[in-house]
Structure 1
Amino acid sequence: MKSQQSHVKALAGKLLVVDDEPNILSSLKRCLVKTPFEVYVANNAQEGLAIMQEHNIQVVLSDFRMPHMSGAELIEQIKSTYPDVISMVLSGFADFDSAIGLLNSGAAHKFLRKPWNNRDLIDEIDGAFTEYHTRLLNKRVLEGEHNPEYYAFEQAVRDQFEMQQEFCLVSLKIKDYDFLEQHAGPNIFKGLLTEIRGLVNSELPQGSQTFAFDSGKIFIIIPDYESEAIIHSRLSAINHKLNEPNTQRQGCVKINCVMGYALAPSDGDSPSSLLENLRSAFSVDNVEKERLCRFDSALRDVQRRQLKIKNSINGALRENQFYLHFQPKVHLPEQKIDSAEILIRWQHKELGWIPPNEFINLSELDGQIEQIGEWLITQSVKMIAELHQFSPDLKRVAINISACQLANNSVVEQFARLLEQYALPPSLIELEITESCLIQDFEQTLKVLQALKSLGLSIAMDDFGTGYSSFAYLAKLPIDVLKLDKVLVDGIEGCKEIQSMIAGLITMCHELGISVVAEGVEVAGQVDLLKLYGCDYIQGFHFSKALPKPEFEQILLQQPFNTEVQ
Structure 2
Amino acid sequence: MLDSILCCLSGGRYPNGWLLMLALAGWSPALAAQQPAPTYSDAIQVVASYHRGSPWSDELVDRVAEAVDLLEWPDGMHVDYLDARRLAEPAAFEIERRRLEGRTAVAPASRLLLIDDAALRFYLRHTESLGNPLRVVAIGINDPELQRRAVAEGVKLIITRTVERQSLAFLKELFGEPLPLLVLGDSTGSGRHLSRTFLSSVEAMPGATAEQVLWEWTPEKVQEALPSLPDNTLVYLVEGQTTGAADLHPEARQWLTLLADEGIRVFCHLPYQVRLGCAGGALLDTRRLSRLAVESLISPAFEALPPVQEVGAERRALHAAFYQHLPEARREEVEWLGVEGSMAIAEGRISRLFWGGTLVTSVLLTALLLLWSSRRRARQAQRRLAIDPGSGLPTRQVLESEFEALSDREPGGWLFALVSPSLRDYRRHLGLPEAQVLFREQLKVLRAQLPRDAHLYLNADLGVIGRLPPSYGDQGDTAFDRFIARLGHNAHEPARRRLAWYGSLLRWSGAETDFAQCRAALDDGLFRLERQGWRQPVIRVEPMERRQATRFRQISEALERLMANPDSEWRLVIQPKVSPHDGRLCGAEILLRWRHPELGEISPGEFLPVAEILDLSSALDHWVMARSLTWLASVRDTLPGLEHLSINVNLATLSETHFRETLMEQLDALGLSPDMIELEITEHADFSDLDTVEKHMTRLRQQGVRLALDDFGTGHTAFKLLQRLPLTVIKMDRSLLLAADEHHQGRKAYAAMVQFASGLGLRVVAEGVEEPAQAEWLTSLGIDEVQGFLFARPLELEDMLVAYGRPED
2:557 is matched with 308
2:644 is matched with 396
Structure 1 residues 441 and 241, CA, compared in 2 at 3 Å: closer, same or farther? Answer: closer
Q: Give the Cα separation in 2 of the matches to 1:507 and 1:335.
A: 22
Shift of 1:460: 1.1
Q: Give the Cα separation in 1 of the matches to 2:418 and 2:607.
A: 31
Q: Are 2:604 and 1:377 equivalent residues in the alignment?
A: no
Question: Which one of 302, 327, 348 corresponds to residue 596 of structure 2?
Answer: 348
Instruction: Please tell me whether the aligned partners of residues 261 and 281 of structure 1 are also in contact (alpha carbons under 8 angstroms).
Output: no
Shift of 1:178: 10
Q: Are 2:169 and 1:169 equivalent residues in the alignment?
A: no
Deviation sequence 1:237-269 (CA, Å, 0-9, x none): 666778889xxxxx89xx999772224259x52
Shift of 1:293: 1.0
**Secondary structure in 2 matching 1:509:** helix
Instruction: Please tell me whether the aligned partners of residues 262 and 277 of structure 1 are also in contact (alpha carbons under 8 angstroms).
Output: no
Q: Give the Cα separation in 2 of the matches to 1:129 and 1:553.
A: 70
**Secondary structure in 2 matching 1:459:** strand
Q: Are 2:512 and 1:264 equivalent residues in the alignment?
A: no
Instruction: Please tell me whether the aligned partners of residues 522 and 542 of structure 1 are also in contact (alpha carbons under 8 angstroms).
Output: yes
Which AA in structure 2 matches 1:461? Answer: L
Question: Which one of 436, 441, 451 corresponds to residue 689 of structure 2?
Answer: 441
Q: Give the Cα separation in 2 of the matches to 1:522 and 1:504.
A: 21
Structure 1 residues 261 and 132, CA, compared in 2 at 3 Å: closer, same or farther? Answer: farther
Deviation sequence 1:284-328 (CA, Å, 0-9, x none): 5458726451335399512321322232232223x5543221101
Question: Which one of 541, 544, 567 corresponds to residue 294 of structure 1?
Answer: 541
Q: Give the Cα separation in 1 of the matches to 2:417 and 2:622.
A: 44
Structure 1 residues 541 and 220, CA, compared in 2 at 3 Å: closer, same or farther? Answer: farther
1:512 is matched with 760
Q: Are 2:326 and 1:326 equivalent residues in the alignment?
A: no
Q: Are 2:605 and 1:357 equivalent residues in the alignment?
A: yes
Instruction: Please tell me whether the aligned partners of residues 316 and 322 of structure 1 are also in contact (alpha carbons under 8 angstroms).
Output: no
Structure 1 residues 280 and 504, CA, compared in 2 at 3 Å: closer, same or farther? Answer: same
- Report 1:511-550 matches (<5 A): 511-524=759-772, 526-550=774-798
Which AA in structure 2 matches 1:413? Answer: E
Structure 1 residues 528 and 454, CA, compared in 2 at 3 Å: closer, same or farther? Answer: same
Structure 1 residues 511 and 182, CA, compared in 2 at 3 Å: closer, same or farther? Answer: same
1:414 is matched with 662
Which AA in structure 2 matches 1:269? Answer: T
Deviation sequence 1:47-81 (CA, Å, 0-9, x none): xxxxxxxxxxxxxxxxxxxxxxxxxxxxxxxxxxx
Which AA in structure 1 matches 2:513? Answer: D
Instruction: Please tell me whether the aligned partners of residues 577 and 587 of structure 2 are also in contact (alpha carbons under 8 angstroms).
Output: yes
Shift of 1:495: 2.9
Q: Give the Cα separation in 1 of the matches to 2:625 and 2:356.
A: 47
Q: Are 2:712 and 1:464 equivalent residues in the alignment?
A: yes
Shift of 1:381: 1.7
Q: Give the Cα separation in 1 of the matches to 2:652 and 2:769.
A: 29
Shift of 1:467: 2.4
- Report 1:16-415 matches (<5 A): 109=344, 138-139=385-386, 158=405, 161=408, 167=412, 169=414, 211-212=453-454, 219-221=468-470, 231=474, 260-265=505-510, 269-270=513-514, 272-273=515-516, 276=519, 279-280=522-523, 283=526, 285-286=528-529, 289=536, 291=538, 293-295=540-542, 297=544, 301-317=550-566, 319=567, 321-415=569-663
Deviation sequence 1:464-487 (CA, Å, 0-9, x none): 123211112213322111011233
Q: Give the Cα separation in 2 of the matches to 1:161 and 1:390.
A: 69
Instruction: Please tell me whether the aligned partners of residues 583 and 791 of structure 2 are also in contact (alpha carbons under 8 angstroms).
Output: no
Instruction: Please tell me whether the aligned partners of residues 506 and 543 of structure 2 are also in contact (alpha carbons under 8 angstroms).
Output: no
Q: Give the Cα separation in 1 of the matches to 2:516 and 2:641.
A: 61
Structure 1 residues 347 and 316, CA, compared in 2 at 3 Å: closer, same or farther? Answer: farther
Instruction: Please tell me whether the aligned partners of residues 327 and 341 of structure 1 are also in contact (alpha carbons under 8 angstroms).
Output: yes
Instruction: Please tell me whether the aligned partners of residues 262 and 274 of structure 1 are also in contact (alpha carbons under 8 angstroms).
Output: no
Deviation sequence 1:337-367 (CA, Å, 0-9, x none): 2211011223334444332333333333333
Structure 1 residues 179 and 359, CA, compared in 2 at 3 Å: closer, same or farther? Answer: closer
Q: Give the Cα separation in 2 of the matches to 1:435 and 1:307.
A: 26
**Secondary structure in 2 matching 1:417:** helix
Q: TM-score, normalised by structure 1?
A: 0.57
Structure 1 residues 436 and 135, CA, compared in 2 at 3 Å: closer, same or farther? Answer: farther
Q: TM-score, normalised by structure 2?
A: 0.42
**Secondary structure in 1 matching 2:659:** helix
Which AA in structure 1 matches 2:761? Answer: G
Q: Give the Cα separation in 2 of the matches to 1:498 and 1:312.
A: 46
Q: Give the Cα separation in 2 of the matches to 1:162 and 1:211.
A: 15
Q: Give the Cα separation in 1 of the matches to 2:652 and 2:665.
A: 19
Structure 1 residues 282 and 304, CA, compared in 2 at 3 Å: closer, same or farther? Answer: closer
1:497 is matched with 745
Deviation sequence 1:82-138 (CA, Å, 0-9, x none): xxxxxxxxxxxxxxxxxxxxx99969958x99xx99x85999xx9999989865654
Q: Give the Cα separation in 2 of the matches to 1:172 and 1:445.
A: 33
Q: Out of 405-414 and 379-388, give the one that drifted further.
A: 405-414
Q: Give the Cα separation in 2 of the matches to 1:141 and 1:458.
A: 45
Instruction: Please tell me whether the aligned partners of residues 169 and 222 of structure 1 are also in contact (alpha carbons under 8 angstroms).
Output: no
Which AA in structure 2 matches 1:293? Answer: R
Which AA in structure 2 matches 1:509? Answer: A
Shift of 1:398: 0.9
Deviation sequence 1:374-411 (CA, Å, 0-9, x none): 22222212222222210223222112222233223333
Which AA in structure 2 matches 1:546? Answer: P
**Secondary structure in 2 matching 1:432:** strand
1:482 is matched with 730
Shift of 1:509: 1.0
Which AA in structure 1 matches 2:642? Answer: L
**Secondary structure in 2 matching 1:404:** helix
Question: Which one of 430, 441, 454 corresponds to residue 678 of structure 2?
Answer: 430
Structure 1 residues 547 and 338, CA, compared in 2 at 3 Å: closer, same or farther? Answer: same
Structure 1 residues 295 and 521, CA, compared in 2 at 3 Å: closer, same or farther? Answer: farther
Q: Give the Cα separation in 1 of the matches to 2:649 and 2:575.
A: 16
**Secondary structure in 2 matching 1:466:** coil
Deviation sequence 1:169-193 (CA, Å, 0-9, x none): 3659899x9999989xx9x76xx95
Structure 1 residues 121 and 321, CA, compared in 2 at 3 Å: closer, same or farther? Answer: farther
1:454 is matched with 702
Shift of 1:502: 1.3
**Secondary structure in 2 matching 1:424:** coil
Q: Give the Cα separation in 1 of the matches to 2:516 and 2:418.
A: 20
Structure 1 residues 508 and 133, CA, compared in 2 at 3 Å: closer, same or farther? Answer: farther
